[in-house]
Every structure is written in structure tokens, then in C-alpha cells.
């Protein structure tokens, strides 16, 4: 099991993605959901546990992650699919109420980000929302372990320390660059942001207006 998979199986990781799940479920309606860069499927599986009737698709460019996600969703209630890198999404226009990204966009170059966001807008229904969760990089790395010491077993919290080290720089660049607010402004989209996970994450929402 890779370090990333160990991290996603830790209790602290559930707390990291929970605000994104709550944001997705707050969108009305939210029956049809697409999770881009789904990894091992943590967000879709959290959502389907909360509302079993949801229609959720998770996509990723990593076949190992998709295989893992499918095994974790043995009942098949989430549709996990492989997505080609830097390619158009294989969905028709206006198919989803919500599109989500967890720890994805801040890792990509500008061309890849632009392609994915434009594709997300294309498959999003009018009035739908895009939910983006990103590590903020706001807090010092040496505070990492103390922040998650309440989660058991303690040995799993070591993955948070590695996660913090690996994401701090990218998270800070994401915030400072303000790429997503600029994208929203250029495309005349509604944008809002809040801090979550004890200020260690940034939750951003873009809403597609009903009127073209």
C-alpha cells in the first residue's frame, strides 16, 4: 500500500474531505455528481454512505487508483472510470448537478487546469456547482502532528505529517496565485471560498448561473 493510500485510510483524511462532502450535499439538487481525480474514491464513498440513492461517477488518470476504488465499492453503487490525461471528458453536456475536485487542481499546470475546468463547466447543469478542496499550506509544518493527535490509532497520523510536508508549498502557491478566482472572474462565474480543516484546507465553490 502506498503512502497516499495509507493517508486516505486514516481518520484525519476523512475530516479533511468532510467539508467537501457537506458542500456537495448542500447543492440543490445534487443527484448526479462527478468527482474528478477521485483517487481511491474516498469522497464518492463518503457521499454514497450519506445518501445511497445518489448517482456518482469518479474518474482518475491512475488505473491503480481506479482499481482500488472499485474494490472499495464492492456493491458497485459508484461508477469509477479511467480518464485519459489532458483529454476531454467522455460525458455529454449538462449531465451533472455537482462536479468536485479534491487535491487535484493545485498539482496541475495552467493548461491542464484550464482544460479540466472548462470541461467541468461543459458537463455541469445550469445552476450547478463545482466544489474544489485544496490543502492551504497556511500553517507551519512543525504543528502538523499536534493538530491530528486526537485521531486514533496514532501511528496513522504520521501520514498527516508527510501530507503536510508534501502539500504545503503547492497549497501556498495555489492561494497566492489566485488562479481559480481569476478563472471565475474571466468566465463571469459566481465564486466563494472558506477555510476548513483547522485552516489547513481551502474550500472553493464556483456556481454556473442558470442564464447563459
Is residue 128 domain-resident?
yes
Picking from 7-21, 79-93, 182-196, which range would have the lowest pLDDT averaged per residue? 7-21
DSSP collapsed to 3 states, the chain: CCHHHHHHCCHHHHHHHHHHHHHHHHCCCCCEEEEECCCCCHHHHHHHHHCCCCEEEEEECCHHHHHHHHHHCCCCCEEEEECCCCCCCCCCCCCEEEEEEECCHHHCCHHHHHHHHHHHHHHEEEEEEEEEEEECCCCCHHHHHHHCCCCCCHHHHHHHHHHHHHHHHHHHHHHHHCHHHHHHHHCCCEEEEEEECCCCEEEEEEECCCCC
In DSSP terms, which residues pair with 100 in a beta bridge? 35, 131
Statement: residue 4 has pLDDT above 70: yes
Statement: residue 211 has pLDDT above 80: no
**Total domain count for the chain?**
1
Statement: residue 153 has pLDDT above 70: no
Q: Which pLDDT does position 158 carry in this prediction? A: 76
Is residue 146 domain-resident?
yes
Here the CATH number for the domain that contains residue 24 is 3.40.50.150
Is residue 74 domain-resident?
yes
Inter-residue contact 100 to 130 (CB < 8 Å): yes
Is residue 73 domain-resident?
yes
Is residue 45 domain-resident?
yes
Query: Residue 165 and residue 149: Cα distance in Å, rounded?
Result: 17
| Bond prior to 158 in cis (omega within 30° of 0) | no
Instruction: Please tell me the pTM assigned to this model.
Output: 0.93
Inter-residue contact 100 to 135 (CB < 8 Å): no
Is residue 212 domain-resident?
no
- Rounded to an integer, the average pLDDT of 108-118 is 97
Its domain, for residue 38, covers 3-207
Q: Which pLDDT does position 74 carry in this prediction? A: 74
**Percentage of residues in the chain with pLDDT exceeding 70?**
89
**pLDDT tens by residue, 20-64:** 999 999 999 999 999 999 999 999 999 999 999 999 999 999 999
Q: Which of 146 and 84 is assigned the larger pLDDT?
A: 84
Is residue 60 domain-resident?
yes
71: confidence class by pLDDT, cuts 50, 70, 90: very high
Amino acid at each position: 500500500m502506498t503512502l497516499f493510500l495509507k493517508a486516505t485510510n486514516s481518520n484525519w483524511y476523512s475530516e479533511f474531505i468532510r467539508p467537501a462532502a457537506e458542500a456537495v450535499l448542500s447543492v440543490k439538487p445534487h443527484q448526479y455528481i462527478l468527482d474528478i481525480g477521485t483517487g481511491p474514491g474516498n469522497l464518492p464513498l463518503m457521499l454514497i454512505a450519506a445518501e445511497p440513492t445518489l448517482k456518482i461517477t469518479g474518474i482518475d488518470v491512475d488505473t491503480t487508483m481506479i482499481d482500488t476504488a472499485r474494490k472499495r465499492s464492492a456493491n458497485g453503487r459508484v461508477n469509477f472510470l479511467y480518464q485519459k490525461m489532458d483529454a476531454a471528458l467522455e460525458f455529454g453536456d449538462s449531465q451533472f448537478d455537482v462536479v468536485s475536485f479534491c487535491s487535484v487542481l493545485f498539482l496541475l499546470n495552467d493548461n491542464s487546469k484550464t482544460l479540466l475546468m472548462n470541461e467541468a463547466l461543459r458537463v455541469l447543469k445550469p445552476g450547478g456547482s463545482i466544489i474544489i478542496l485544496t490543502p492551504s499550506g497556511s500553517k507551519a509544518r512543525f504543528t502538523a502532528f499536534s493538530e491530528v493527535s486526537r485521531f486514533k490509532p496514532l501511528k496513522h497520523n504520521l501520514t498527516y505529517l508527510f501530507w503536510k510536508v508534501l502539500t504545503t508549498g503547492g497549497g501556498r502557491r495555489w492561494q497566492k496565485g489566485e488562479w481559480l478566482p481569476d478563472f471565475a472572474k474571466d468566465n463571469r462565474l459566481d465564486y466563494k471560498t472558506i477555510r476548513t480543516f483547522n485552516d489547513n484546507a481551502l474550500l472553493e465553490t464556483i456556481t454556473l448561473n442558470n442564464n447563459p
